[in-house]
Amino acid sequence: MDMEMTFPGGEKVDAQFNGFTVSTDQPITEGGTGSAPAPFDLFLVALGTCSGYYVLRFCQRNTLPTKGMKLVLTDERNPDTHLIKMIHINITVPEDFPEKYRKALVRSAELCTVKRNLEEPPKFDITVTTQ
């Protein structure tokens, strides 16, 4: 997939791909206006929504209700590097959710493609060209 990044002003960076535009900005504390999520926030959103998608699909395939379900993603950071050292994903289900499907929900969340890419990270090739 090709994705084009543009710079609309200030600390904002927009990504255009597949007919969509995703806007980002930095928090006010980092010199931005806080008008959109920061790029790193979108990284965490991608992890959470990807895991959520696989949990949702599992429930749909097994005709399990999703009303009252939610996933909560929490990260722990290394205080020295400020990099993430642990990501917790908690799947909350209603009290009457069948016990026999709970481990399968975890396995479903583990199928997340974003998560799997982090486990086997890609290499990067960064170049500079002229127009």
Residue that the structure tokens 């005709």 belong to: 63
Condensed to tens digits (0 to 9), the pLDDT of residues 38-56 reads 999 999 999 999 999 999 9
pLDDT beyond 90 at 1 = no
Condensed to tens digits (0 to 9), the pLDDT of residues 77-127 reads 999 999 999 999 999 999 999 999 999 999 999 999 999 999 999 999 999
CB atoms under 10 Å from CB of 34, counted, come to 13
Contacts of 15 (CB under 8 A, 6+ apart): 3, 4, 5, 21, 22, 24
